[in-house]
Amino acid sequence: MALAEAGARGRLLLWPRVVLFGDSITEFSFQENGWGASLAERLVRKCDVVNRGLSGYNTRWAKLILPRLIAKSTSAESTVAVTIFFGANDSALKDLNPKQHVPLEEYAANLKSMIQYLKSVDITEDRIILITPPPLQESAWEKECLAKGDKLNRRNATTGEYAQACVQVARDCGTDVLDLWTLMQKDQDFSSYLSDGLHLSTKGNSFLAAQLWSCLEKKLSALPLLLPYWRDVDHTNPEASLL
């Protein structure tokens, strides 16, 4: 059978997709042992995991580009989950990092704006997961800052205020939320979860992957395996199995 004929007989296969939208912690999530890569491995042949992480970005910039990433006319109907993972840059101290800093009230408003946009393109609240910034290990991050000739430009207590705001937005808007800031500090020294005081270590990536999967599993458990297992293909008449 010619490929054109096969294509005409079989309907186009559209993989459902999970979109990971966030800053550098999302952008780096497909690196070795990354939380995004772990999620993609779990969902292989069921769902595409799309990395839309943008290093250094804050919610002020993110809300402007979200409509360029997900539009109703293209892929909203096949988007089964979206993670929104910002705050590590928004919570930077205004006096020391004015370019990335976003005031707390605006941060919350921007998150709400992004949720409202997703709802407007038919991605409902039950498919949206907010993730708070992780805690900041100040002494480790200060070393990173000093190496670049800067002062410590973030504080864990301030990051915690943004995490609380993120949790409140999720409550107000009816979305799920993963409160990474609180979970990582529960009953333990959280420094091992971070590679440089701000970004996730291998252990931190593993922790986030496990927590996120607990949240996503119920949403995605019903997704079927796309295309039959190879042993189930009729080798004498593969068209019957594959088209």
Establish whether 196 is a catalytic residue: yes
Q: In what order do the strands lie in the sheet with 48-53?
A: 48-53, 17-22, 79-85, 128-131, 176-178
d(CA 37, CA 41): 6
Establish whether 199 is a catalytic residue: yes
**Catalytic: which of 24, 113, 192, 195?**
24
Does residue 22 contact residue 180 with C-beta atoms inside 8 Å? no
Establish whether 101 is a catalytic residue: no
- Residues forming a β-bridge with 115: none
**Catalytic: which of 122, 172, 196, 234?**
196
Q: How many of the other CB atoms lie within 10 Å of CB of 212?
A: 24
Q: How many of the other CB atoms lie within 10 Å of CB of 23?
A: 25
Q: What angle do CA 147, 208, 102 make, to 5 degrees?
A: 55
State phi, psi for 234 to the nearest 5 degrees.
-75, 100
Q: How many of the other CB atoms lie within 10 Å of CB of 37?
A: 17
Q: Which of 13, 53, 56 is nearest to 228 (CA)?
A: 13
Catalytic residue numbers read 24, 196, 199
